[in-house]
Amino acid sequence: MARDTRRGMIITAVQVLRERGADGLTVEEVLLRSGAPKGSVYYHFPGGRTELLDEALTYAGNTVSALLNRAATDGPESVLQEFIDIWRHVLTDSGYTAGCPVVAVAVSRTESEELADKARGFFNQWATALTNAFLAEGMSESTARQLATLSIATIEGAVVLCRAHRSITPLEDALAQLRTLINCHRFARDNFTLAP
């Protein structure tokens, strides 16, 4: 039961992060939404709000990393589709009030540098999953890395636009153009040979 309470508080903290950002994450809000008793915060998170925030970031980042790594074995489109599906679910289920909790921590000016480093580490993990999928297709290391960076930046930016417009269209548009770009790279790889 105690483990369920702890996990519930972490998942609730992720939801608050998505909606209010790192600066808006409070112990009081997590308790209110999770229904956990007040004493459970310091029982499960002796470090208080900072530890709860760290655990929420870790949970969110690792969850996305695991999904993307699993999808990477099926190619870059599968990784992109998984990434899009994650955000489609988050956005529509929240009525377009929720975004990326990792972004929320990465851009916060009030959280510790250690937490910002951890957030950057998750972006790197996501980029690695995509890079590996592009490399498996025979793309050069620099092209694979650059496409991975562009893909993450495009999708995360599309999430912001979806929230602003209260529509999933920017995410769908982003995916369509990323697929086109990937196909252009494949065409060039398969049909043109660069001189040594």
Q: Is residue 8 part of a domain?
A: yes
Q: What tens digit of pLDDT does each residue of 86-99 get? A: 999 999 999 999 99
Sign of CA dihedral 169, 170, 176, 179: negative
Let me know the angle formed at the C-alpha of 50 by 44 and 37, rounded to the nearest 5 degrees. 35
Q: Is residue 105 part of a domain?
A: yes
Calpha distance 191→189 (Å, rounded): 6
Q: Which domain holds residue 182?
A: 2-191
Calpha distance 131→48 (Å, rounded): 37
Q: Structurally, how many domains does the chain consist of?
A: 1
Q: Is residue 10 part of a domain?
A: yes
User: Residues with Cβ < 8 Å from 75, sequence gap 6 or more?
Assistant: 133, 136, 137
Which of these, 189, 117, 177, lies nearest to 151 by C-alpha position?
Answer: 177
Q: Is residue 157 part of a domain?
A: yes
What does pTM read for this prediction? 0.89
Q: Is residue 68 part of a domain?
A: yes
Q: Is residue 128 part of a domain?
A: yes
Q: What tens digit of pLDDT does each residue of 147-173 get? A: 999 999 999 999 999 999 999 999 999
Task: State residue 157 phi and psi, 5-degree precision.
Answer: -65, -40
| 44: CATH | 1.10.357.10
Is the model's pLDDT at 196 over the cut of 50? no
- Mean predicted confidence (pLDDT) in 24-41: 91
Q: Is residue 196 part of a domain?
A: no
Q: Is residue 152 part of a domain?
A: yes
